[in-house]
Structure 1
Amino acid sequence: MRKRTFSENFIKPLSLFISIFICLNFLSICNSVTVIAAELSSVHPDHVRGLYVKADIASLGLKEENVERYSEYIEALKEKKNSKIDIGKINAFEKIVGLINATRLNAVVINVKDDQGYVTIPADSEYVLQAGSYNYQLKDIGKTMEQLKKYGIYTIARIVVFKDGVLAQNASHAIKYDDGTVWKDYSGAAWVDPYDEWVRQYNIEVAKQAAAAGFDEIQFDYIRFPEKFSQYDVSKKYLQNKIRQDQLIRQFLKDAYTQLKPYNVKVSADVFGCAAYLWDDQLNIDIGQVWYNLTQEADYISPMVYPSHYRGTNWYTQGDPNKHPYEVVKGAIEDSLTINSAFEDKARIRFWLQDFSMYDYEYGPQQIADQVKALHEKGIDTYMFWNNKNVYDPYNYLILEDKHPKVIPDKYPVYDIKNNNPADAAKRYLEADKNKDLYHSFILKAEKTRQSEYADYVKNMQWSGITAYEFTGYRESFNTAQVFFSITKQGKQQKAVLFMLLEEGIWKVHDYYIIR
């Protein structure tokens, strides 16, 4: 047997040791990556339960010991113990994170471009430099994101788009009068020009900066024109020979979604609650928020269904909407689910709820619970609460700890919505046909059997000529049904059957035939 040399005796074991060391370190790195990935994906976007946070609050920073102490304080409240934990020196951001850490909450919505138009995070974009909008509030956003991820918190970057007093100081980008004076709305706020391509790209660039900073989702707010814009004199010439406002907003959202795709972030849009109640209404066209032009260009659409904001309507309650949070949110949910079911390629829905008091009516634990109850009854467990002062009473969220959504079956789910059954859906479809009601005709027609775009549907619509109908019976089997009618067309009575299909939890008309 040949004797091994010194180099063989020393180098080979050394090589083996180095190889083992590298492998162990590689495994360690892999494990670390796995942990990080788990933290990044620990909250599914469909289960986000978040709180709104202003940039000045988020800039206060997080001390781990303070967050933990506030979480302990919340746990003591949860167990109804007489806590002697000192929370006097805990800042507002630490309280928010501590509250999230100790409850079912799991997300924050942080201002990245605020209501004045300031960009709050560092940005190396030429657009931001030209706008002069960076205000240094969240200059250490990297550290903040790292800390939030450590607590498994889902992070949403709120970007206020077209309400922008900072950029509007440059009148060339603002909505303005013929003499160049910047126009302002009834509240004194200046708006930038949504038709200005530079303005649109600027906001997309801000979104890219937020995505690069590590946010999980980009949320566009004020993604609209000013309220009742067409009623202002300034709008007359401004809107001439231009595409409709809602079509422009759709194009902006589509461009943003395309450009943000490489960043692997979700994209969401905040909309007025009326977008789900009204269809092609002039109010929605005015502001550019028509549901069918939004839901197909985002991952999430977020109706702001604050009960206080429904004052002056009787849409969901005969009393003061602000004092009936359950009824208002329930009605808004049902409208949103119904309207959204009309589209195959559509956004998911996540609602903004109210955690603030208005009109001398206090919002506390019961009002918070009532809003969430309306969601849970439909199997929905994702929402965001708005409080502009960022003061979140722990008791408002402790009441939700033992509340969970109704389990909706995966197979043949049916939403508990008024008139959502085969017979009533068929009657409403025939009523829409009789009255030439395009909206209900589109909504109640199974999307598998018609054009997906509403504009195409309208262009190719041919009404049947029904002048009267009488329901005679129906039969149902799982996700299909046949509904029978005696109908009148051109003065003649005929027997008809409508074939119904359960689609996205809503009963729709698949087709109908005359029985000869």
Structure 2
Amino acid sequence: MTSIREIVASLLLCVLVLFTVPAHAWTTYRVKQGDTLGRIAASYLGYTASYTLQELIEDIARINGITPANLSIGQELSIPVIRQEPIRPRSVRKQKDFPARGIYINQWTAGTRQVFTLADRMRGYGGNTIVFDAKDVRGALSYKSAVPGAHIGVSRYPHAVEDIAKLVEYLHLMNLHVVARVCVAKDMLASSSMHHWRWEHEWLNPANPEVQNYTLAIIEELCTLGVDEIQLDYFRYPVDTNTHTGIPGKSRSDVMAEFLSRLHSLTSSHGILLSLDMYGIVIWQKSEDIETVGQDVLKMKPSLDIISPMLYPSHFSADFSGIPNPADEPYLFVSRGIKRLKTLVGDEVIIRPWLQSFPLRVTTGYGPGFIKEQIRAAEESGAVGWLLWSPGNRYNEALTAMEELHQKTRSGGLQSGLVIQ
């Protein structure tokens, strides 16, 4: 039976997310010299229900029966304003053992209403979490911010999310856990504009105090923008077969653990969860892997709430652990990885794996069954929740898998966490 909570959330979604212009809710603006419809819309975007600037331009044009080309000085325009102040979302605090089940959203999807379409469908099948790109490997933030200008001298950059406050607030209205993914050491923008920060090619030197302060500033800002969790990715050195840091007596794992401690102090002060995407291979605890990438589970675990090991079967090399093609063993590598990690962290840190939602190297049939096997492995091996990764946000197979599991759960045929909350 549908709960009151679900009904209310659905109504809010329809009003604020799926539709754009509430009837008879507007203010009046008089056109001045130099105005364009785009410039006018930009000044009001935060006060309207429109999610993108283009939506608001179209809404204003439709309401006033005009086109962007036929503005005239002194003309009065009705603007669909619905609030007196821009949205200021607040983080929703959760315990670290919250069973997050969700999908990754890149900034280009997050910048359109497709994010809400995917989120709504996922939510209907028991999903409860969206991980969106706040900063990807290209280095530019997905939203407008003064932080890059202050730290790397880049004040203008392309960004897909025009109103991050609406993104966070609308996802909260859908009763979803909102996670901001921040790529740290791999940063094309900063490495090209700040040469003395560069480690090699597109990688920053994580031991550089300025690099650390830049990352802290980004995360400080995100904490004030209402996200519920910060997820660190590329929080490591490149796989360059070296182990040096440029600092005598300090290993790469020392550098990363100390940096992580600073970040955890910041997120903890805001009551926000901190998670880390962990390079899957380091869970097997080979010293050469740990000291190359700098991710040492034992050193890092005191400064983490959640570890999300990237246990994509396709990313294990041929014949790893005697398996000819690991990509064809979706249960095995997820299960083994979680169990190995569990022996290292015990109950101190929550394990929430990234699962493969793309067909790379799979030869035995990629589809909903492949996804379900990974979910089953996660749930049977000690994980608390899971996340699905598709770089291009192609989730048809994953959502079908979630739907099938959800239907079995509701019919009593499967013990699974796929329930609507």
TM-score (norm 2): 0.70
C-alpha change, 1:151 and 1:210, in structure 2 (3 Å) is same
State the Cα distance separating 1:284 from its structure 2 match.
1.4
Counterpart of 2:339 in structure 1: which amino acid? Answer: E
Structure 2 distance, partners of 1:107, 1:157, is 11
- Any conservation in 2 of the 1:381–1:405 contact (CA below 8 Å)? no
- Any conservation in 1 of the 2:133–2:142 contact (CA below 8 Å)? yes
- Any conservation in 1 of the 2:96–2:350 contact (CA below 8 Å)? no
Structure 2 distance, partners of 1:340, 1:293, is 10
State the Cα distance separating 1:298 from its structure 2 match.
0.8
Structure 2 distance, partners of 1:126, 1:120, is 12
Structure 2 distance, partners of 1:151, 1:95, is 11
| 2:132 equivalent among 110, 130, 133 | 110
Counterpart mapping for 1:60-71 below 5 A: 60-61=112-113
Q: Secondary structure at the match of 1:46?
A: coil
Deviates more, 1:244-253 or 1:324-333: 324-333
Q: Counterpart in 1 of 2:183?
A: 160
- Any conservation in 2 of the 1:131–1:167 contact (CA below 8 Å)? no
Asked whether 1:269 is paired with 2:270, we answer: no
C-alpha change, 1:386 and 1:406, in structure 2 (3 Å) is closer
Deviations 1:364-410 (A, max 9, x none): 11111101111222354400010001011131321221356579xxx
Structure with the larger RCO, 1 or 2 (CA within 8 Å, 6+ apart): 2
- Any conservation in 1 of the 2:351–2:383 contact (CA below 8 Å)? no
Q: Counterpart in 2 of 1:304?
A: 310
Counterpart of 2:357 in structure 1: which amino acid? Answer: D
Structure 2 distance, partners of 1:355, 1:161, is 23
C-alpha change, 1:156 and 1:122, in structure 2 (3 Å) is same
Asked whether 1:221 is paired with 2:273, we answer: no
Q: Counterpart in 2 of 1:327?
A: 332
C-alpha change, 1:327 and 1:380, in structure 2 (3 Å) is same
| 1:99 equivalent among 109, 114, 121 | 121
Q: Counterpart in 1 of 2:42?
A: none
State the Cα distance separating 1:336 from its structure 2 match.
1.1
State the Cα distance separating 1:240 from its structure 2 match.
5.6
- Any conservation in 1 of the 2:135–2:142 contact (CA below 8 Å)? yes
Q: Counterpart in 1 of 2:342?
A: 337
Asked whether 1:243 is paired with 2:250, we answer: yes
Q: Counterpart in 2 of 1:356?
A: 358
Q: Counterpart in 1 of 2:105?
A: 53
Q: Counterpart in 1 of 2:289?
A: 283
Asked whether 1:144 is paired with 2:167, we answer: yes
Asked whether 1:252 is paired with 2:247, we answer: no
C-alpha change, 1:240 and 1:203, in structure 2 (3 Å) is closer
State the Cα distance separating 1:127 from its structure 2 match.
6.3
Q: Secondary structure at the match of 1:168?
A: helix
- Any conservation in 2 of the 1:375–1:405 contact (CA below 8 Å)? no
State the Cα distance separating 1:201 from its structure 2 match.
1.2
RMSD, matched Cα: 2.5
Deviations 1:257-289 (A, max 9, x none): 11222221100111111222115x111111101
Counterpart of 1:356 in structure 2: which amino acid? Answer: F
Structure 2 distance, partners of 1:171, 1:42, is 39
C-alpha change, 1:284 and 1:379, in structure 2 (3 Å) is closer
Counterpart of 2:220 in structure 1: which amino acid? Answer: K
C-alpha change, 1:372 and 1:289, in structure 2 (3 Å) is same
Q: Counterpart in 2 of 1:174?
A: 198
Counterpart of 1:122 in structure 2: which amino acid? Answer: K
Percent pairwise identity: 23
- Any conservation in 1 of the 2:185–2:204 contact (CA below 8 Å)? yes
Counterpart of 1:257 in structure 2: which amino acid? Answer: H
Gaps of 5+ in 1: 1-35, 62-91, 176-182, 185-189, 408-516
Gaps of 5+ in 2: 1-88
Structure 1 distance, partners of 2:225, 2:171, is 12
The count of corresponding residues between Structure 1 and Structure 2 is 319
TM-score (norm 1): 0.58
Structure 2 distance, partners of 1:239, 1:143, is 43
C-alpha change, 1:193 and 1:370, in structure 2 (3 Å) is same
- Displaced runs of 4 or more, over 6 A: none
Counterpart of 1:249 in structure 2: which amino acid? Answer: M
- Any conservation in 2 of the 1:43–1:152 contact (CA below 8 Å)? no
C-alpha change, 1:197 and 1:127, in structure 2 (3 Å) is farther
State the Cα distance separating 1:44 from its structure 2 match.
6.9
